[in-house]
Amino acid sequence: MQIEKPEPAPVVQPVPADQAPAPQPPKSTPKTVPPPPASGSSTLPFVEKYRPKELSDLISHEDIIGTITKLIDQNRLPHLLLYGPPGTGKTSTILACAKKLYGDKFGPMVLELNASDERGIDVVREQVKTFATTRALGVKGFKLVILDEADAMTHPAQFALRRVIEKCSHNARFCLICNYVGKIIPALQSRCTKFRFGPLDHKAVEGRMHQIAQAEHIAITPEAISTIVSLAEGDMRKCLNVLQSTALQSGERGEVTADMVYQTTGKPHPEDITRLLEWMLNEDFTRAFHLCWELKTAKGLALQDVATEIHARLLHVDLAPMVKCDVLDQLSTIAYNASYGLSEKIQFAGILAVMQRARHSVLQMAAQAQGQQTQ
Ligand SMILES: Nc1ncnc2c1ncn2[C@@H]1O[C@H](COP(=O)(O)OP(=O)(O)OP(=O)(O)O)[C@@H](O)[C@H]1O
Ligand SMILES: [Mg+2]
């Protein structure tokens, strides 16, 4: 069936990606990071090969690292609660602390439990308590209990830990690590000094990425590095994994480019988002759906990514405030539905419907304004 295309002038000009203000990283002075270790097995994934060995190797969290270093130097380390989004250096920080505290005596002095270990109430009562109350032969000072991914611990286990922490403070320090601090009971939170590991500073991550690319002899353009960094949103683990996989994919093809990063990660290219927005806002529904769906399937774009990118772009589009509020509100519902795995096609049509409604409102408002002028 031939679709008749109405000829209204473009209602809303989507902001091209290069004109949209780039996300502002948190302000902090970029630090000259030490070169990553040149040695290490070539089979190791970059995330392990370049895991910071010492506190000074960590980038971006200067204040936290400075405070923890001082506390260790003055032998006044409190119980710690490190929390924040993934890939920001929480586990690396406490491992570097343990290394600074114990050097090669690490083994008998540190108990590290993470989500893959059983950490129910029995383990807290027996394993953790026994470790924290006994002294290691020939090593002075307190022991360290690291409870990584502590937000996955059951409530009874957390309640039991409360008493253990209090009873064993003379002999052990506890470090709880988690992504969601709200899942740690208040009584445990108040026994610890809390440090929030926010997303890493983009400039510092870029610096580290350049060093790692150089150490690994990966030819990569500066644009490709900034693309990786902005897609990772302050998660260094994500950056390193994308760097390693794009470098592998580029193989003999030479330099890693920003386009290759989008291909490897499957994230929508900014030009694709511009095209989608143009169609959604300026074509009639049937034609727009046909064009957008075709592009989405041809490029294998995930609905969630499309919704996220459109949302980011819309924040900078010149739209009447109430129209913009409606669009953003409905987009958030679609993104929520998409995260629950509801039908991609239905949700995609939903995005289009939202945009078309916005277009309709803008046209109506323009017609009203024109009517008032002619009166
Ligand atoms: N601040 C940082 N400085 C340098 N490298 C970092 C930093 N944060 C993370 N990395 C890199 O990312 C990898 C993962 O870091 P880490 O395991 O410490 O993250 P995490 O905060 O514990 O994440 P999760 O919450 O998912 O456990 C490290 O091996 C390291 O290579
Ligand atoms: Mg961790």
pLDDT digits (tens, 9 = 90+) for 314-359: 888 888 899 999 999 999 999 998 888 888 899 999 999 999 999 8
pLDDT of residue 13: 52
Instruction: Determine the distance separating the centroid of ligand 1 and the alpha carbon of 92, expressed in angstroms.
Output: 6
- Single out the residue in 196, 229, 250 at which a domain terminates: 196
CB 99, CB 54: distance < 8 Å? yes
Q: Are 101 and 188 contained in the same domain?
A: yes
Instruction: Determine the distance separating the centroid of ligand 1 and the alpha carbon of 51, expressed in angstroms.
Output: 7
- Say how far apart CA 362 and CA 364 lie, in whole Å: 5
pLDDT of residue 253: 66
Q: Are 189 and 231 contained in the same domain?
A: no
pLDDT of residue 120: 80
pLDDT of residue 9: 45
Pocket test for ligand 1, best of 237, 238, 243 (most atoms within 8 A of CB): 237
Q: Taking residues 14-38, what's their average pLDDT?
A: 45
- Which atom of ligand 1 is found nearest the CA of 48? 29
In a domain, 18, yes or no: no
Q: Are 182 and 245 contained in the same domain?
A: no
The residue whose CA has the least distance to atom 9 of ligand 1 is 89
220 pLDDT band (50/70/90 cuts)? Answer: very high
> Which ligand approaches the C-alpha of residue 151 most closely?
1
Q: How far out from the chain centre does Cα 193 lie?
A: 24
Instruction: Determine the distance separating the centroid of ligand 2 and the alpha carbon of 83, expressed in angstroms.
Output: 9
Question: What string of DSSP letters covers 20-57?
Answer: SPPPPPPP-PPP-PPPPPS-S-TTS-HHHHT--SSGGG
pLDDT at 92 over 50: yes
Q: Are 297 and 357 contained in the same domain?
A: yes
- Say how far apart CA 255 and CA 214 lie, in whole Å: 12
> Which ligand approaches the C-alpha of residue 236 most closely?
1
In a domain, 299, yes or no: yes
By the 10 Å C-beta count (0-12 exposed, 13-18 middle, 19+ buried), 75 is classed as: exposed
Q: Are 212 and 192 contained in the same domain?
A: no
Nearest 5°: phi and psi at 31? -105, 145
Instruction: Determine the distance separating the centroid of ligand 1 and the alpha carbon of 283, expressed in angstroms.
Output: 45
In a domain, 22, yes or no: no
Alpha helices in the chain (DSSP H): 46-49, 62-73, 90-102, 106-109, 121-123, 129-133, 155-168, 186-189, 202-215, 222-232, 236-250, 258-265, 270-282, 285-299, 303-314, 321-339, 344-374
Percent of the chain with pLDDT over 70: 88
Amino acid at 203: K
Kindly state the DSSP code that residue 202 receives in the 8-state scheme.
Answer: H
> Which ligand approaches the C-alpha of residue 148 most closely?
2
| Domain with 152 in it | 61-196
Ligand 1 interacting residues, C-beta cut-off 6 A:
47, 50-52, 58-61, 86-92, 179, 197, 200, 236-237, 240
- Say how far apart CA 331 and CA 337 lie, in whole Å: 10
Q: How far out from the chain centre does Cα 34 lie?
A: 23
pLDDT of residue 141: 86
- Say how far apart CA 314 and CA 309 lie, in whole Å: 9
Q: Are 255 and 277 contained in the same domain?
A: no
What is the radius of gyration, based on Cα positions, of the chain?
26
Q: Are 230 and 344 contained in the same domain?
A: no
- Single out the residue in 140, 174, 196 at which a domain terminates: 196
User: What angle do the packed helices 62-73 and 90-102 form, to 10 degrees?
Assistant: 20
- Which atom of ligand 1 is found nearest the CA of 50? 31
Q: Are 75 and 177 contained in the same domain?
A: yes
In a domain, 2, yes or no: no
The CATH number linked to 224 is 1.10.8.60
In a domain, 6, yes or no: no
Nearest 5°: phi and psi at 308? -65, -45
Pocket test for ligand 1, best of 92, 233, 240 (most atoms within 8 A of CB): 92
- Which is higher by pLDDT, 114 or 81? 81
Q: Are 242 and 351 contained in the same domain?
A: no
Percent of the chain with pLDDT over 90: 62
Q: Are 184 and 227 contained in the same domain?
A: no
pLDDT of residue 33: 42
Max CA pair span of the chain:
94
The residue whose CA has the least distance to atom 17 of ligand 1 is 91
4 pLDDT band (50/70/90 cuts)? Answer: very low
Instruction: Determine the distance separating the centroid of ligand 2 and the alpha carbon of 232, expressed in angstroms.
Output: 16
pLDDT of residue 80: 97
pLDDT digits (tens, 9 = 90+) for 159-204: 999 999 999 999 999 999 999 999 999 999 999 999 999 999 999 9
pLDDT digits (tens, 9 = 90+) for 39-87: 445 678 999 999 999 999 999 999 999 999 999 999 999 999 999 999 9
In a domain, 42, yes or no: no
In a domain, 55, yes or no: no
Coil, strand or helix at 178: strand
- Single out the residue in 155, 172, 196 at which a domain terminates: 196
Instruction: Determine the distance separating the centroid of ligand 2 and the alpha carbon of 149, expressed in angstroms.
Output: 7
Instruction: Determine the distance separating the centroid of ligand 2 and the alpha carbon of 86, expressed in angstroms.
Output: 7
The CATH number linked to 166 is 3.40.50.300
Question: What string of DSSP letters covers 113-141?
Answer: E-TTS--SHHHIIIIIHHHHHSPPTT--S
> Which ligand approaches the C-alpha of residue 232 most closely?
1
Number of other CB atoms surrounding residue 231 within 10 Å: 17
Q: Are 254 and 338 contained in the same domain?
A: no
CB 243, CB 218: distance < 8 Å? yes
pLDDT of residue 151: 92
Q: How far is CA 291 from CA 215, 277, 278, 286, 294, in A?
A: 44, 11, 11, 9, 5
pLDDT of residue 97: 94
Q: Taking residues 298-316, what's their average pLDDT?
A: 90
- Tell me how many domains the chain contains: 3
pLDDT of residue 325: 92
pLDDT at 254 over 50: yes
Q: Which two tokens stand for residue 94?
A: 């406490």
- Say how far apart CA 49 and CA 175 lie, in whole Å: 24
Q: Are 85 and 190 contained in the same domain?
A: yes
Phi-psi region for residue 87, left (φ > 0), alpha (ψ -120 to 50) or beta?
left
Instruction: Determine the distance separating the centroid of ligand 2 and the alpha carbon of 186, expressed in angstroms.
Output: 21
The CATH number linked to 288 is 1.20.272.10
Q: Which two tokens stand for residue 122?
A: 């029995």
In a domain, 122, yes or no: yes
